[in-house]
Structure 1
Amino acid sequence: MKKYLSSILTAALFFTVFLPGGMALADGEISTKTKKQTLNIAHRGASGYAPENTLAAFEKAVDMKAEMIELDVQMSKDGELVVIHDTTVDRTTDGTGAVKDLTYEEIAELDAGSFFSEEFVGEKIPTLGEVLDQFRGRTGILIEIKSPYLYPEIEQKVADELISRNMDKPNNNKIIVQSFDHQSMKTFQSILPSVPVGVLLSYSPDGISDAQLADFARYAEYVNPNKDMMDADLLERIHEFGMKSHPWTVRDQESADFLLELEVDGIITDYPDYVDPHK
């Protein structure tokens, strides 16, 4: 009888410990659910801790273990792709004027760190090429094309920067391109179909319809809405259309926790330390 009971216990232990996928018997049922990995995406770098869209902010994001950095791209008067969010330099530098009206030489002289704190005096506005060269292979890069209507052929110029560095190969580089201008994303996708694109969406009380999602799915791999639009139903519908979602922009722990609980595909945040997938 003891030998018989021992055999039963051994079998039970085997099925509890060794079943694939970490499955275990509990109350007569097998559970296979594991927590989904959510990408930690540093918005304009770790912009809660360093001046946005600068090399310092991107370095801080890497130090904080963000899986991707997000940045904004615009174009100088003489055609250089520069990393800055606003269409003017007024808010984040010691200069004034529209980005499109300044040459790269003029932009390169500006101080893009002092507005944040004295610690970053002299920080510069980088070019897209500088960021790609410094961070390729170290972190994923989410490129937002900003106000493309101001910059004819900017989609081709972004594509050229990626192609020249052999960063346009599918599954070889963690590169995504996104924009609020959805026609721009259609254009970029037609130029460089090997690089996934995302559509950004501002908050709308009307939400996102299935008709919109069906249209996005024709050319985009990501639907990235304002975080206040995200709920379980929207995430499920985005996934049903074969796309993923990276809501923006998280600036408080409560929002990060909510999105982590939803198991969104990625979270765009100023504070990478708020997004801890191991919680």
Structure 2
Amino acid sequence: MKRMVTILAASLAMTSFTGSGLAAEQGETVKMVSKQEQQEMVNIAHRGASGHAPENTMGAFQKGVEMKADYIEIDVQMTKDGELVVIHDTTVDRTTNGTGKVGDLTLKEIRQLDAGSWFSEAFTGESVPTFEEVLAEFQGKVGILVELKAPELYTGVEEKVADALIEKNMSAPNNNKIIIQSFNHESIKKSKELLPNLSHGVLTGGSWANVTEEQLAQFASYADYFNPTMKIVTDELVSNVHEAGMDIYPYTSRSQEQALRLFDLNVDGIITDYPEHVYSHPVKNS
């Protein structure tokens, strides 16, 4: 799969960096290279630029766009009355001033909640956006990595997501601005049947550290991306994912050191709370 290229506006001076990651363990120094030596890397703002604004809000998504992310990553769930909303947890407790399960609340009830003040008073009044609002606001401005969050809880959520994308003409062949992913791999199979022209990805946690080539080949029969926790990413895993014909977007980088390590492992994209960390490609000193 052809990788997207992030174009940077200015050259970076040669800077040495030594951390506690893979390079440091091997006693090596990693350096930031100049613009001319930069290699392609896809920058995915995790739940928006969630290091700078409350996750999964319009403010966080707008910040991701302003910071030149290639994609914003969003989490989609369904309300009691069948409406698609963008929120990470299956309850509203952590990121709003309300309580209860997303699936037990109506859209009207969820929309009345404050989804910003927990992060900062500056974001007081931010609401939980609907999926349709996010599509309407950011279509054509940035790529959207859509995670189907706990789809096993929401009968028909794959169809509703597909209908929303089709209605906005965002399901066309070769539309590399929309990717759909989930930890529920059966849900991704279903989504791929509904939206065969869109790219799909499988999310995996730490239990997939020893994923086999046969398992990767099975994933590749319906997915274009293998997106694991960054904790299990190794040179061998990246190579095997590429051999299977998929790209790899690990999650979730929250420090410059973590981003540098993922660069060094030659992943295709980085899912990060801080898009500014995905700036250039580091190389090992010879």
For Structure 1 versus Structure 2, the TM-score category normalised by the shorter chain is 0.7 to 0.9
Please list the CA deviations of residues 42-88 of structure 1 after superposition, one character each: whole Å capped at 9, or x if unmatched: 00000000000000000000111101000000000001000000000
Match of 1:118 among 118, 121, 131: 121
Which letter maps to 1:257?
Answer: L
Q: Distance in 1 between matches of 2:184 and 2:118?
A: 28
Q: Distance in 1 between matches of 2:181 and 2:274?
A: 20
Match of 2:60 among 54, 57, 62: 57
1:140 is aligned to 143
Contact in 1 for aligned 2:49/2:55 (Cα 8 Å): yes
TM-score (norm 2): 0.84
Pairing of 1:145-184 with structure 2 (within 5 A): 145-184=148-187
1:129 is aligned to 132
Which letter maps to 2:74?
Answer: L
Unaligned runs of 5+ in 2: 1-35
Which letter maps to 1:249?
Answer: T
Bigger radius of gyration? 1
Pairing of 1:10-89 with structure 2 (within 5 A): 35-89=38-92
Q: Distance in 2 between matches of 1:188 and 1:34?
A: 38
Which letter maps to 1:77?
Answer: K
Contact in 1 for aligned 2:209/2:232 (Cα 8 Å): no
Which letter maps to 1:251?
Answer: R
Tell me whether 1:215 sits opposite 2:218 in the alignment: yes
Inter-CA distance 256–165: structure 2 relative to 1 (3 Å threshold): same
Q: Distance in 1 between matches of 2:83 and 2:46?
A: 22
Contact in 2 for aligned 1:36/1:263 (Cα 8 Å): no
Structure with greater proportional helix content: 1
Inter-CA distance 206–47: structure 2 relative to 1 (3 Å threshold): closer
Q: CA deviation at 1:172?
A: 3.5
Q: CA deviation at 1:173?
A: 4.8
Pairing of 1:87-102 with structure 2 (within 5 A): 87-102=90-105
Q: CA deviation at 1:230?
A: 0.8
Inter-CA distance 243–255: structure 2 relative to 1 (3 Å threshold): same
Q: Distance in 1 between matches of 2:262 and 2:244?
A: 20
Contact in 1 for aligned 2:200/2:225 (Cα 8 Å): yes
> Which shows bigger deviation, 269-278 or 210-219?
269-278
User: How many residues were matched structurally?
Assistant: 247
Q: Distance in 1 between matches of 2:86 and 2:106?
A: 14
Q: CA deviation at 1:263?
A: 2.2
Tell me whether 1:267 sits opposite 2:278 in the alignment: no
Contact in 1 for aligned 2:253/2:259 (Cα 8 Å): yes
Tell me whether 1:251 sits opposite 2:254 in the alignment: yes
Contact in 2 for aligned 1:42/1:70 (Cα 8 Å): yes
Q: Distance in 2 between matches of 1:192 and 1:63?
A: 29
Percentage identity across aligned positions? 57
Contact in 2 for aligned 1:168/1:195 (Cα 8 Å): yes
Tell me whether 1:225 sits opposite 2:242 in the alignment: no
Inter-CA distance 205–131: structure 2 relative to 1 (3 Å threshold): closer
Q: CA deviation at 1:206?
A: 4.3
Unaligned runs of 5+ in 1: 1-32
Q: CA deviation at 1:211?
A: 1.7
Please list the CA deviations of residues 188-235 of structure 1 after superposition, one character each: whole Å capped at 9, or x if unmatched: 001111111100001137421112101101100000000011111111
Which letter maps to 1:72?
Answer: D
The alignment partner of 1:223 has SS state of: strand
Q: Distance in 1 between matches of 2:258 and 2:140?
A: 29
Please list the CA deviations of residues 4-40 of structure 1 after superposition, one character each: whole Å capped at 9, or x if unmatched: xxxxxxxxxxxxxxxxxxxxxxxxxxxxx96431100
2:190 is aligned to 187
Which letter maps to 1:188?
Answer: S
Indicate the structure whose relative CO is greater, using CA pairs within 8 Å and at least 6 residues apart.
Answer: 2
Q: Distance in 1 between matches of 2:88 and 2:98?
A: 15
1:234 is aligned to 237
